[in-house]
Structure formats: structure tokens, C-alpha cells
Structure 1
Amino acid sequence: MAGGIKLDVMDARGGTLTLVEVLELDPVALGQPRLLSGVADENRSVRWAHVIGQDRPGHMLEGRELILSTLPRLAEDRPDLEDALEQYLADLDAVGAAALAVEVLPDRPRLLEALEAAARSRDAQPAAAELTPLLHFSRVVRFQQITEALHWELVARELEADGAERDGTPIWDPMVSAATNLIDDLAAPGGLPAQDMEDRVAALGMPRSARYVPLVVLLKGEPKETTSYRVAQLALGARQAAAHIRRPALVAAGQEAEICVMLAVDEPAGAFAEAGRRAVDTFCAALRTDADRRRTYGLVPRYLVGVAEQFVTLAEAPGALADAAGIARAALRVSARRPRREQNPAESATRQWWAAADLGLSGLLVHIAGQPEAEWFARRHLPVFAGEDGEQLREIVRASVRTGGNKAELARELGLSRPTLYTRISRIERLTGRPFQGESLLLLYTALLLEELTAPGDAAAP
């Protein structure tokens, strides 16, 4: 895991990108940047990025920065617009800026014309290759996402320069890195002395006496959809979601494609109940809003949230987060394997998080499905459903569990007359040699769940 990284120092040991590499970053490429003037090649390096709105940015820069701007001070009605643009570009040339990338929309035709004219003039100069390249985004972009992507990539280069592993390792911002190190230290044998823990918590801006709700956010999808960059994007979204609802939270790196969240609550120890669920609901709603916004740029795939429904101290975080991670992983498998006929579209659209109770018996079985013992169990009990009426008998078992064995309600749910229902129940009893109730019913239901959790043809897409 990334840890102890100082993001504002990228030196010649490797913490730079070429301008060509920057243009290939997802949030940059999505803006379809067009080179108006200058040279964007492997010889021009980028060590940082700034979003600047001033009309004389030179004093703010040190060199080799990518400048992102809408040029807000260069208004259409400004009399000296062309001269101001020339001075702006001269400032960048003087400090050796890596490039200027602007977002100027068609409702500013005078500025667009000035940019084109300035580009032609600069390219005509003998030292054109030494001047700051000028880029124009053809589509609306989010500068924040560009700076985040660039900064994380710069951190990756710095880690590589220091000999650190990068493959499979998410690149986190400093706050996430610090929280990750704290959780790791708490999980180590012996944990942390209480005073050290309190000091580090306070340094991260967390209340010293808070209790926490442990959550794990797990990305869904193929490996190409759960890259370290996208995981880091989701971690940022989790931090922003907590900030939006004004609730302190520690966001840390988890296992592959997971982030851990310790959501601070001002609640005494005790039952999770309404206060805990309200805190999680509010956080998950804010996270969904952020993820939906990012998803429009193809940066964050789908995810689910596992919650250990309890209030814990920070010292208890490692165990509680392990519980939440287990719930999230089981939920991913259960939701992916659940037969389509049993999926509730309304529930799928509104569900924001999973608790252990939501998984039911499948939450246990998903961990053993496919193992020899589970296969033996299924082979022992599934022959009951092997005949032509097998699917009808399956529905009897499933509906009996849902209705608690109430025969009148069972008949109504299945749309069967009482005689027909009793005939089918009698058939199950003859095939099993046991009464259709209690443990016998549970054995059949468990066998059906194992069948569903291992049947490749009846799985829902994750």
C-alpha cells in the first residue's frame, strides 16, 4: 500500500510525466484536446498541474507545470483581450510551463479567434519549439479529475523511482495513505499504544472520542474495470461523500478492488438501530451521487457496500472491517448468482448497502458452494427435483420458506388450489421419505440454494 507520500515534491528521480503521457490519461483524453501551437513530444516533461484563473500566472509557477484554465479574466468585452492573452502566454514561456490547456466554449468567439491567432503567431517564431504548447479541449472537461489523475500518476512514478511495487497497488492520496497505515498498524500484533492512536487520529482530523460504523466498498466488474486508478477514484469519492454530509470518516485502502471506511458517529455504545442505519444511508446516498457523476466520464464502475452493523472504537477497526469486507464479498457473489426470477428490480434500484441479514443463508453457502462437501450435500438432496415436475416442486420449496409453511398463504402465492398443493407436497414427502416441514424443508431449500450458487447458466450479471 502507498504510504507516507509527499505529493507536492516530484523531483528528477522519476516523479514526472511527458506531455504525451499526460494527454493519454483518461480524463484528459476524454476532453479531446487539440494542439493549437507548440510541440507536445517526449522531450517536454510535466511535474505538476494547476488550475489557474488569474491573467498573470507567472508569479505562481516554478516551471514544468500543466496549466488548466478557462481564462475567466479574458472576457469577451475586454478591450485589451488580445494583448492580455499575449502577456498570459509570455508569463508561461518565462517560467517554462509544460503546457497550457484551455476550455473555451463557442459562446466566447472573440477569445477563440484570439487563441487561434496567437497560435499561428507563436508557431511562426524561430524558437517555436521552445515556447509553451497551447492546447484547446474540444469537449467539456472536469479540471479536478485531470489534476487528480495526473497527481496519482506522478506519485506512481515517485514510488517506482524509490523501488516500490506498483503492479496491483492502488495509488492513494496522502490522507488515504495515512489512514491505511493507521489501520494496518492497529491490525499488527500488539496494535498501537492508546496515546499514539489518539494522536494519529487527531492528526487526521477525527474526533478523539468518536465511535465508528465500519464499511467496505467493493468495486464490481472485470479486472479492467477495477484498476488501481478507478479504486483510487472511488476512495476520493468516499472522502468527498463524507465531507458533503459533514461527517468525519477515515478512508483507507483495503484488499484488491476494496476501500475501507470508518464512518464517525456521535453515538454511545449500543445497538446499531436507527441512528446507525441513518448515518450509513446518508453516506451511501452521497457516495452514489459522486459515483454517478464520475461514471459519466467512465472513471468509476459499479460498486456495492458491505456494512458491519455495529458501533466500534477505532481499536476495534481491523476486526470490524474484516466483517464488513466479508459481507461485501459475499454480497457480490450472491447478487451475481441470484436467479433472475428472484431479483426484485425495485430493491436492486434502491439498495445502497448490504448487512449480514440481507444475505440470508446464501451469505454462508456462497463461501462453501463448489467444495466437495457441499457438492455431496447437493447430490444427496437434489434428485427430488429430477423429474418432469421438478421445477414445480422447486417452487413449492422456495415458496414454503418464504411463507413460513402457512398452507393457505402458500396456495395463494403459487396460485394453486388446496388439493393440487397437497398433492405436490405429498409427492415431495414420498420422494424424501420425510414430512415436508421443519428440518426436512430446510435441507431441500439449502440444496436448492447451493444449486443456484453454482449453476453457471442462471447467474445474473454482476
Structure 2
Amino acid sequence: MHVTLERILRLPPLASGRPEVLAGADHLQDPVRWVHVAELKSLAGLLEGGELVLTTGLGFGTSAAEAARYLGELAALGAAGVVVEITADRPEAEAALRQAARDAALPVVLVTRRVRFVEVTEVVHRLIVAAQLERVEKAREVHEVFTMLSLESASPEEIVARTAKLIQSAVVLEDVAHLVLAFDPAGTAPGDLLADWKRRSRATHYREETARTGDEGWLQTPVGLRGQRWGRLVVPGLLGDEAEAAMVLERAGQALTINRMAERDQRELGHQAQAGLLHELRQPRSLDEAEALTRAAALGLPPAPLYLPVVLRLDHASTAEPIALQRRERALLELVNRVLAASRNSALAASLQTGSVAVLLALPARQLEDSVLERICGELADRSAGAAEDLRWTAGVGRPHARLLQAAAGLDEAGQVAETASTLPAGAKRFYRSTDVRLRGLLTLLRHDPRVQTFVEAELAGVLESGNDGGDLDLLQRYLESGGNKSELARSGYLSRPTLYARLARLEQRLGVRLDDAESRTSLHVALLVHRLQGL
């Protein structure tokens, strides 16, 4: 606690002089850094700011003008105040001081009885040193508290609660979107503390340093590394010791930053370990079943009756910027892990290919496969919809196996299913198996075969070379999906009947085939599917 002028005036050595405050009564709570006894006319070069000056007034004598100059100089030098001893035998000096004090910009105190300045300085300096030691001890205590919280990987709620207890005031942790992540009301009604929080917080502008700001004068400190701030700690109320509270708040911010970095590093290590094991499991003869089960159990996947391979593929991953895609992929992996933990399902999850997350899921029984998948994919879909990143995805599911190595080998099949299913209309199903993608699945596997490519180019040459920006391909796809029924296509409102018939006639000429021939339509449909799949 700081030593204030008000506290000094109550000390017996000064109180015996009957101190009278002539000016600056509203600054009596300001801290006093040191006490200086001086009888010089000018103290320029002797004061550094925050000192309480003790004098008998010999520096200005009986002149009110000199007294005003003297007090003005002390204020300019940053003195915390001045105590002037003037006894009854010097009425002119007292009158001069009283007149000058009317315009003084610092606390001016008159004592009319003899005061032993040496006793005042001795007591005050002892108090100041004790206060400094108290602050050092407090800083050490705060350091130990938050160091231990960091070592224990305490949650944000624990750190905020300890902060509120140390400063004896309500504390709120919010993110950069002004959403409250944790708070401790410290006796305040939570409803009053958080009322209209987002609007009030937006009005309290962010500061890079610990400071009071905003209309309500909130004390705040940033949280996160410089340039990567992710939130701030806020004390909305008034405080007894501002400097001590600011110190505690800064240490709390550092602890939150350290814990978040450690948590992220721990997650990264866990992700890397699971990714490494999944890669090994997919390599032929790299591990035997017993070793695979042991290593999987060490990473949180205990032995189970069945293991199910699942791959989540981010939609439109091939067109995304690499950095943005990596960010989305990381966000999806973390979301998968949170959902798995919340649903109490054991699994290994890792990013194995760009834009996708692979999962080896433990199943207690085959008959629970669909219900488990529905629950997990449903929760994932709900959380993805509210995520900050674009996390639209398609789930592909392989066949369950009793052996872990066989299930891991099925991740390739699940990945192909997810890739193929991403070309289907969005929202058709929560997850897809190979029986859901059928011909598309087969064509996905064959789409890069040169012979298949030659077939596609031969079948679609007439429209690929027409240069009408895919209009013919779109018409062909709609015609084939309607089963070659021109009337149905016309009724769908796609084109008027005369226009449709004319365009289909031109399309037949470009393709060099009859569209009413069933085999031609089948051949064209296969070619068109492969052409679309080549864009994956």
C-alpha cells in the first residue's frame, strides 16, 4: 500500500503540530515517494517528483509573491506537497503563506507548533520502505500464484477467479469479438456485471498496454502475444490500489497466454502422434496387430470389438488458398476431437491428406454403427454451422473391421467415398458409404486412367470444343438426368419447349449421336460424370 499525505498528517510527529490544510485537499490521497527537508529559496535540480517537502518557510520569508513563486516551483517540480512550520511569533510569514496558498496547485499544509522534522522523516521513510517491501512481497506472492497456475495448466476460469480474489474486484475475460470467456463477479450480481456487455465493451476501446479507458473507466490488459492478441482482461469496478491491481492483471494475462500456448502445443503434439501412427497403420507390414493395438491404446484408442474408418473432406478444398485450407483443416480436426470427447467415443483422428481429416472410430457393436455415426456427424454439422471458419464437409465411411490394421487400410476407401460424395447435392445424407456413390465411386477411381480420358474426350468432343462456356454440358446433364424425357425437361421450366427442342437438335449435331438412343445416353452420362469428377 502506498504512503499518502493524509496518512502522514495523522502520524504523531506531525499531528502534534496541529496541521491545517490550506490547499490541495483533494490530493491528500496521492502517494508520497520520499520526504525532503529544505530551507532554500529554490529546489530546482533537487526534486525528482513525488516528494513531500518540509520547511519553516525561510525560503520565501514574509512576501506573498515569493511564497506564490515558491509554491509554483514545487508544483512544477512534481512535489507531492509541502508542510510549512510557522509558529505564532511569525504572523507576517503565515499571512503570506495563506495568501499564496489560495492559487497553489499542490497540497499546502501549515503547522503552527514546533515539529521535529527529523522524527517525521524517520517515521515516514520507515513507512515508505516498509510499503516498498510489502509491494515486493506482494509481487513475489503474485508471481508464485500465477507460476503455479501456469505449471498446473489451470483453466481460464481458475485464473480469472484467482485474479478476482487477489484484487478483490470483479474480473472479466473476453475475446476479440467481445464475447465473455470467463468471469468472476467477486460479490457483484452477475446480471449487473454482464448487463449489455457487448455494447459496453465495444465502447471501451482496446489498449495495447494496461490502462483505464472508456466512458466507464475500465481497467484492462491485453491477453496473447503482441501481434496475436486473442482477448483482454477487464476490471469494470473501482480499485483500492490501482498499481497493485494492474500488476496482478498483467501477471494473469501472461498466465492465460502461457497456458493457451502450452495447450496448443500439447494438442499439436497429440495430433502429430496420432497422425504418425495412422500413417504407419496404413503401411503394409509396418506393424503387427498386437503392436498396433498397444500403440493405439497408448494414444487413447482402447481395444474394441470393431473399428470403423471415417474420412471428413472439406468441400471445395482444391480451390482454397493453401494457408486458408490449412487453417480450415486444423479447425475441423479440433472440432472433431471436441465432438468425440463430448460424445465419449474413443478414436484416433488426424489430418492425413490436404483438406481432409481421417478418423479410426472404436465401435462397441456392429448394430450401433449407424446410431454412433448419426450422433457424431449430427453434432459436427451443428457445431460446424456456428464455426468462424467455413467448415462445410462431406463424410465418407469405410467398412468396419475387427482388426485395427484392416480398418486403417479402409481409410483410403472412406476417403474416396468422401471425395465422390462431395459432388452429390449438398445435405442429402449425414454420411456416405460406397453403396451410396455406386457408379460415381467407380469412376472416381478410374478418372485419371489415360484410356478413360480418351473415352471422355471422344464422347464429349463436340461440346468441349464448342466454346459456349459449359452451356451445352449443362443442357446435356439436365437432359440425361431427366432420363431423356424432353417433355419432362421442358415442364421443369428449364427452357421453353421450342427452344429446348432446337438446342437439343444442335447438341445432337455437335455430338454426332442420337440422343434418343439408350446406349448413347448411357455412354454420354458416364463420360459426363468422369468429366465432372476430374475437377475434384
TM interval, shorter chain, is 0.5 to 0.7
Instruction: In structure 2, give the amino acid aligned to 1:172.
Output: E
Q: 1:398 aligns with which of 466, 470, 477?
A: 477
TM superposition shift of 1:443:
2.1
Instruction: In structure 2, give the amino acid aligned to 1:310.
Output: R
Change beyond 3 A, Cα 1:405–1:266: farther
User: Are 2:275 and 2:349, in contact at CA under 8 Å, matched by a contact in 1?
Assistant: yes
How far apart, CA to CA, are the structure 1 residues paired with 2:345 and 2:513? 58
TM superposition shift of 1:283:
0.9
Change beyond 3 A, Cα 1:397–1:289: closer
Partner residue of 1:150?
261
How far apart, CA to CA, are the structure 1 residues paired with 2:390 and 2:468? 41
Secondary structure at the aligned position of 2:308 is classed as: strand
2:154 is aligned with 1:50: yes
Q: 1:443 aligns with which of 516, 523, 533?
A: 523
Partner residue of 1:224?
323
TM superposition shift of 1:311:
1.6
Partner residue of 2:126?
none
User: Are 2:311 and 2:396, in contact at CA under 8 Å, matched by a contact in 1?
Assistant: yes
How far apart, CA to CA, are the structure 2 residues paired with 1:244 and 1:77? 31
2:478 is aligned with 1:382: no
Partner residue of 1:266?
364
Q: 1:76 aligns with which of 167, 188, 199?
A: 188
Secondary structure at the aligned position of 2:426 is classed as: helix
TM superposition shift of 1:358:
4.9
How far apart, CA to CA, are the structure 1 residues paired with 2:272 and 2:329? 13
How far apart, CA to CA, are the structure 1 residues paired with 2:337 and 2:363? 15
**Structural RMSD (CA):** 5.1
**1:366-402 Cα deviation digits (max 9, x unpaired):** 6666876555434423355478999897567534543
TM superposition shift of 1:320:
0.6
User: Are 1:239 and 1:251, in contact at CA under 8 Å, matched by a contact in 2?
Assistant: yes
Instruction: In structure 2, give the amino acid aligned to 1:432.
Output: G
User: Are 1:217 and 1:303, in contact at CA under 8 Å, matched by a contact in 2?
Assistant: no
TM superposition shift of 1:452:
4.6
**1:199-231 Cα deviation digits (max 9, x unpaired):** 44444554523212211123443222233x653
Instruction: In structure 1, give the amino acid aligned to 2:261.
Output: L
**1:160-217 Cα deviation digits (max 9, x unpaired):** xxxxxxxxxxx6353x444434433433442434433344444455452321221112
Q: 1:212 aligns with which of 281, 295, 307?
A: 307
User: Are 2:304 and 2:362, in contact at CA under 8 Å, matched by a contact in 1?
Assistant: no
**1:70-98 Cα deviation digits (max 9, x unpaired):** 452622389xxxxxxxxxxxxxxxxxxx9
Change beyond 3 A, Cα 1:312–1:421: farther
User: Are 1:102 and 1:135, in contact at CA under 8 Å, matched by a contact in 2?
Assistant: no
Higher relative CO (Cα under 8 Å, sequence separation at least 6) belongs to: 1
Partner residue of 1:133?
250
Task: List aligned pairs for 1:34-183, cutoff 5 A.
Answer: 50-51=154-155, 52=158, 70=182, 72=184, 74-76=186-188, 111-114=235-238, 118-120=241-243, 133=250, 150-151=261-262, 154=265, 172-174=268-270, 176-183=271-278
Secondary structure at the aligned position of 2:345 is classed as: coil
How far apart, CA to CA, are the structure 2 residues paired with 1:406 and 1:56? 73
Secondary structure at the aligned position of 2:361 is classed as: strand
TM superposition shift of 1:122:
6.5
Instruction: In structure 1, give the amino acid aligned to 2:184.
Output: P
TM superposition shift of 1:287:
1.6
Task: List aligned pairs for 1:359-374, cutoff 5 A.
Answer: 359=437, 361-363=439-441, 365=443, 373=451
Change beyond 3 A, Cα 1:443–1:147: farther
Secondary structure at the aligned position of 2:413 is classed as: helix
Instruction: In structure 2, give the amino acid aligned to 1:306.
Output: A
Partner residue of 1:234?
332
How far apart, CA to CA, are the structure 2 residues paired with 1:122 and 1:245? 41
User: Are 2:150 and 2:258, in contact at CA under 8 Å, matched by a contact in 1?
Assistant: no
TM superposition shift of 1:55:
5.5
Change beyond 3 A, Cα 1:361–1:222: farther
- Percent identity over the alignment is 20
How far apart, CA to CA, are the structure 1 residues paired with 2:261 and 2:411? 30
2:342 is aligned with 1:244: yes
Partner residue of 1:432?
512
Change beyond 3 A, Cα 1:394–1:430: closer
How far apart, CA to CA, are the structure 2 residues paired with 1:435 and 1:57? 76
Partner residue of 1:321?
411
User: Are 1:53 and 1:71, in contact at CA under 8 Å, matched by a contact in 2?
Assistant: no
Change beyond 3 A, Cα 1:429–1:356: farther
How far apart, CA to CA, are the structure 2 residues paired with 1:289 and 1:147? 31
TM superposition shift of 1:422:
11
Across the two proteins, how many residue pairs are aligned to each other? 328
User: Are 1:102 and 1:136, in contact at CA under 8 Å, matched by a contact in 2?
Assistant: no
Secondary structure at the aligned position of 2:268 is classed as: coil
User: Are 2:513 and 2:520, in contact at CA under 8 Å, matched by a contact in 1?
Assistant: no
How far apart, CA to CA, are the structure 2 residues paired with 1:212 and 1:202? 13
Instruction: Provide the TM-score with structure 2 as the length reference.
Output: 0.47
TM superposition shift of 1:426:
11
How far apart, CA to CA, are the structure 1 residues paired with 2:380 and 2:258? 20
How far apart, CA to CA, are the structure 2 residues paired with 1:231 and 1:435? 43
Secondary structure at the aligned position of 1:291 is classed as: helix
TM superposition shift of 1:134:
5.5
How far apart, CA to CA, are the structure 2 residues paired with 1:75 and 1:453? 62
Instruction: In structure 1, give the amino acid aligned to 2:311.
Output: V
Secondary structure at the aligned position of 2:357 is classed as: strand
Change beyond 3 A, Cα 1:192–1:285: same
TM superposition shift of 1:316:
0.9
Secondary structure at the aligned position of 1:183 is classed as: helix
**1:412-437 Cα deviation digits (max 9, x unpaired):** 5578879x869957983996356733
**1:10-35 Cα deviation digits (max 9, x unpaired):** xxxxxxxxxxxxxxxxxxxxxxxxxx
TM superposition shift of 1:351:
4.7
User: Are 1:53 and 1:72, in contact at CA under 8 Å, matched by a contact in 2?
Assistant: no
